[in-house]
Amino acid sequence: MNIRLFFRSALLSTILAYLLIFIGGLVRVSGAGMGCPNWPKCGDNWIPPTNVDFEQFNLTLAWIEFINRSFGAILGISIIVLCFLSIKYFYSNKKILSISFLSLFLVIANGVVGGALVWTNLNPFIKTFHMILALALVSSLSFLTVESYKNLRDKKIILNSASLPNKKIILIFAFLIIIEILLGTGIRTNIEIIQTEFPLLNKSEQLDSIPFYKYFHTFLGFTLLFLSFYLYKKFSNHSLRIIKSLNTFILCMIIVQILLGELLVFFELPQLARLFHTWGSSWLVGISVIYYNLIDYELA
């Protein structure tokens, strides 16, 4: 029962973290990052004003940014609860205990990095760092969810280890996903710098100005497609349903990501596609963590 409580708490935090990444992406694509011109307060108060003279504030943008901050605070509270539960029920399990506190550190650190973003007027490199920390946070929370789930199941399914995907393949997959995300954030950062320096360029001219490494992003995307297709084919008849589901999910996500990516290029970066492209990449990171952890468990 107590372990179940921890599992639920970890699951809740993970879901909240994914929603927070979505909201953060929404702040980015709607250009609401400087909606609150200061941090941690928004204007003179903690809550943005409801009416104010136009010079200082765009109220819509202020509220979008404020919801992002509030959601971050809610996630922070949820992780504090998680840490208490980890001390209470997993004091002897150093892995769960330390990753719980690592999550707490990451959520606080990322809040401060969010503040640094405002202080530096949305420095593109800090934006990327903000995103990377968020990915680290969903990874650690996904890990806690799976790890506590393992403790919930009293009977292990005994499997022939030979029938499981090789751990190395999943590690390579996760590694390529991270490289792919770094290339993607590089492209994003580059576009933003170009947008600032040359505001009159249209979207396709901005894309054209990005150096050749943008093609690696596409190339690696298709490499990941082949890899996920291989996993899907190889384990399509696997006896463990979750392995099949994970492979199907990964394949679908990669296909969706490629389609969204092409949409970004050929329809000049529609904001909604940008948002889901970024969000989808965070899902793939979490899924890789879950996949690896699951195999690790079944092999143990």
* Residues forming beta bridges with residue 45, ordered by sequence position: 42
State which H helix or E strand residue 151 sits in: helix 124-152
Distance set, CA 23 to CA 1, 109, 124, 127, 287 (Å): 33, 18, 18, 14, 20
Q: Which residues contact 268 (CB under 8 A, 6 or more apart)?
A: 202, 203, 204, 207
Q: Decide if residue 266 touches other proteins (CB under 8 A).
A: no
Could you tell me which stretch among 41-49, 50-58, 96-104, 109-117 binds other proteins (CB under 8 A)? 50-58
Q: Decide if residue 267 touches other proteins (CB under 8 A).
A: no
Decide whether 64 or 102 has the Cβ nearer to other proteins: 64
Decide whether 39 or 230 has the Cβ nearer to other proteins: 39
Tell me the per-residue interface mask from 201 to 230 with other proteins, x by CB under 8 A, - otherwise. Answer: ------------------------------
The per-residue DSSP string of 74-116 comes to HHHHHHHHHHHHHHHH-TT-HHHHHHHHHHHHHHHHHHHHHHH
Q: Total residues contacting other proteins (rule CB under 8 A)?
A: 27
* Residues forming beta bridges with residue 42, ordered by sequence position: 45
Q: Which of 1, 162, 200, 300 binds other proteins (CB under 8 A)?
A: 200
Q: Decide if residue 287 touches other proteins (CB under 8 A).
A: no
Q: Decide if residue 196 touches other proteins (CB under 8 A).
A: yes
Q: Which of 64, 177, 207, 243 binds other proteins (CB under 8 A)?
A: 64
Q: Decide if residue 54 touches other proteins (CB under 8 A).
A: yes
Nearest to 63 by CA among 50, 73, 44: 50
Q: How far apart are CA 14 and CA 134, in angstroms?
A: 11
Q: Decide if residue 121 touches other proteins (CB under 8 A).
A: yes
Q: How far apart are CA 215 and CA 210, in angstroms?
A: 10
Contact 284, 257 (CB under 8 A): yes
Decide whether 179 or 194 has the Cβ nearer to other proteins: 194
Q: Which of 2, 60, 98, 163 binds other proteins (CB under 8 A)?
A: 60
Residues that bind other proteins (CB under 8 A): 22, 26, 29-32, 34, 37, 54-55, 58-61, 64, 121-122, 196-200, 245, 271-272, 275-276
